[in-house]
Amino acid sequence: MSTPAAAPAGEPRREQLLNAADRVVQREGPGASMNAIAAEAGITKPILYRHFGDRNGLIAALTERHTAGLLETVRAALSEPLERRDQVEHVIDTYLAAIESRPQVYRLLTHPEPGDPTGAGNALAPALKQIAEEITRAVQTQVDLGADTPLLSEAWGRAITGMVLAAGDWWLDQRPCPRPRMVQALADLLWGRLAAAAALPPVVAPPAPGPEDAAEPAAPEET
């Protein structure tokens, strides 16, 4: 049995337990037991249950932690002031890097265990929906697709998210190529219509009125 890692001074107890759960899931995979997590944290299993209720509660807490981080990094990637092709690659790479850094946690959140009645394997679904909405907004505000912009941005936001999810899942499992090559392959597939679309002009605030724009003083009335 591994020796529990020392928690940083001042770290909240709940965070210590989630860090322990992360380490065990990374070592043992999605089937990591509450016994193993409690041992990693240096506590008894009843204390773990006291904090999270049950295994579903612990998975929900891990989900909140990791999906919040994923959303934050994808949102930041979408807002980077990059050329369009560079931004496409940057967003894809951000997602693949996130799942590559914690593959077992990703599997826990996306793949139910055999016979699992809890639906834990669907834990990432709400975050993916939000990512699709973020991509939709980015397309709407950055790309001129003419009269079809509302329809296409919605369709592309969901399609891009689903494509990268499925392709990333396969890539993480099979590792057929290094991550930069996978990023390039997915970006090539997305690039056709995006390359042809015009960029929307930046929104420029009207200049503040200067002294010369001030109204002429009214002439005094003749007496």
Residue ranges per domain, the chain? Answer: 7-53, 64-199
Task: Assess contact for 16 and 4: CB atoms under 8 A.
Answer: no
Task: Assess contact for 58 and 30: CB atoms under 8 A.
Answer: no
Residue 112 pLDDT greater than 70, yes or no: no
Longest dimension (CA), the chain: 103
pLDDT band at 170 (very low <50, low <70, confident <90, very high): very high
In this prediction, residue 90 carries a pLDDT of 96
Secondary structure (DSSP) of 122-142: GTTHHHHHHHHHHHHHHHHHH
Q: Pick the residue with more confidence: 151 or 123?
A: 151
Q: Pick the residue with more confidence: 110 or 212?
A: 110
pLDDT band at 181 (very low <50, low <70, confident <90, very high): very high
Residue 77 pLDDT greater than 70, yes or no: yes
Kindly list the distances between the CA atom of residue 123 and the CA atoms of 19, 46, 59, 66, 126, in Å, as whole numbers in the listed order.
18, 24, 8, 10, 7
> Exposed e or buried b for every residue in 42-55, given b needs 16+ CB within 10 A?
ebeeeebeebbeeb
pLDDT band at 9 (very low <50, low <70, confident <90, very high): very low
The mean predicted confidence, pLDDT, of the chain is 81
Listed in sequence order, the residues at least 6 apart from 82 whose beta carbon sits closer than 8 Å to its beta carbon are 90
Among candidates 60, 58, 66, 14, which has minimal Cα distance to 35?
58
Residue 4 pLDDT greater than 90, yes or no: no
Residue 72 pLDDT greater than 50, yes or no: yes
Q: Pick the residue with more confidence: 113 or 169?
A: 169
Least confident piece of the model among 119-123, 139-143, 208-212: 208-212
Among candidates 190, 111, 125, which has minimal Cα distance to 157?
190
In this prediction, residue 200 carries a pLDDT of 64
Residue 7 pLDDT greater than 60, yes or no: no
Could you give the CA distance from residue 26 to residue 211 in angstroms, rounded to a whole number?
65
Residue 10 pLDDT greater than 50, yes or no: no
> What's the pLDDT tens digit per position in 45-64?
999 999 999 888 888 888 88
Which CATH architecture does the domain made up of 64-199 adopt? Orthogonal Bundle (1.10)
In this prediction, residue 84 carries a pLDDT of 87
Length of the chain: 223
Among candidates 157, 195, 26, 17, which has minimal Cα distance to 101?
26
Q: Class assignment of domain 7-53?
A: mainly alpha
Q: What is the mean pLDDT of residues 87-92?
A: 94
In this prediction, residue 1 carries a pLDDT of 32
Residue 87 pLDDT greater than 60, yes or no: yes
